[in-house]
Every structure is written in structure tokens, then in C-alpha cells.
Chain A
Amino acid sequence: MIDPWYIAVCILVILVCLSLIRLFLGPTAADRAVAIDTVNTLSVAVLILLGVAYQQIIFIDVAIVYALLSFVSTLYIAKYLGGEL
């Protein structure tokens, strides 16, 4: 029996590739910012599931740090969109 964590990781990676479509053909810059925010959220979920699949707790620590750092980058992109930077 195939481990269910690997199937979940494969489906989430397919969803990341689908959201990259919106990243390529978004009409405005705000659409691309929304798409990259979605990619960040899904990456955190993928890292958590990979940490269970490979039995490595360090992956989940990487997921925590990635969530906080992508939050900072999202805030700066939003500031740049509003013309306040």
C-alpha cells in the first residue's frame, strides 16, 4: 500500500502548478501577489506533510520559518503595490 502522505503531497504540488497559471497570466500586479501568497501557503502544507513522510522533524521547523518569512515578503509587496515604499 502506498503511503497516503505521498499522494497528498503529489496532489498539493499539482495545485501549486495550477496556481502558477494565474501567476503567469494575471492581468494586474495584485493578482500575481495573491497567487504568490497562495503558493506560499501551499508550500507550508507540503513541507509539513513531507516532514511526516520522511520522519524528519526539521522539515516542520523549516515550515514555521518559511511561513513567517513569506509573511514579511507579502507585507513588503503590499506596501510596494500601494506606492508607500
Chain B
Amino acid sequence: MIADVLILACLAVGIFFNALGIAGLLRFPDVYTRMHATTKMTTFGSMFTALSVIIYGAALFLSSGDGQYVTLSVHTLIAAISLAFTNAVGSHAIARGAHKAGIKPAPAIVDRLEEFTP
């Protein structure tokens, strides 16, 4: 009973934050602000949907004792961890590539990265 409420709450939080990320992707004016919106919001939302799946597997394992639900939870945990690491590193790489391609933020005054790159 408590597990059902937790699963629905985690799903709702995850979908809400994913929707916020997509709204930021559609509405923000710049590459860097769009990346700021989508990377954090979709990582957070996808980890919360994965957390709901983990809670579902744990609750079904505790009630039925079947071993395949442990497999479900552990594999979902591995997927969430790999998602967290790859999103952070990938967005950093895209921001670096965009800066090297000459795209500047719109009201930029100082550019510290330009002083370090030849």
C-alpha cells in the first residue's frame, strides 16, 4: 500500500521534472542556458523514474520472494548510475565544443576560457 503511493509519487516527480527540462529546451534563448535546463532536469527526472522501478522491484520481492525482481532492481540501478555519469560528462563535452566553435553567450562580457585556450 505504501509502496504503491511511493511508486506513483516518484513517477509523478520524474515526469514533472522531465517536462520542466523540455520546457527549458524550447523556451531558453541560448545554447548554454538550454543545456543548463535539459541536462540537470532530465537527469533528475530519469533517475526518479528509475527509483520508482527500483521501489516496485523491492516491494514485489518482499511480498513474493521471487528472485527476478532483485535482478530488475539491480539492473535498473546500474542503468541509473551509468545515466548520471554519462549525462554530466557528455554535456560538459558539448559545452566545450560549442565554445570552441565560436558560439558565445548573448550578454557575455568576460570570457575566462578564451584566455586559457590558445
| A interface residues, Cβ below 8 angstroms from B | 4, 8, 11-12, 15, 18-19, 21-22, 28-31, 33-35, 37-38, 41-42, 44-45, 48-49, 51-52, 57, 60-61, 63-64, 67-68, 70-71, 74-75, 77-84
Contact = CB atoms under 8 A, between A and B. Distances in A.
A31 B18 contact: no
Given A48-B49, A49-B53, A15 B18 contact: yes
Given A28-B103, A68-B82, A41 B42 contact: yes
A30 B31 contact: yes
Given A44-B79, A51-B72, 9 more contacts: A4-B7, A28-B101, A34-B35, A34-B38, A37-B91, A64-B79, A68-B86, A77-B97, A79-B93
Contacts, number: 145
A83 B25 contact: no
25 contacts: A4-B8, A8-B11, A8-B14, A12-B18, A12-B49, A15-B22, A19-B22, A29-B101, A30-B31, A30-B98, A30-B103, A33-B98, A34-B91, A44-B46, A48-B49, A48-B79, A61-B75, A64-B75, A67-B79, A68-B86, A74-B93, A75-B90, A78-B94, A80-B97, A82-B97
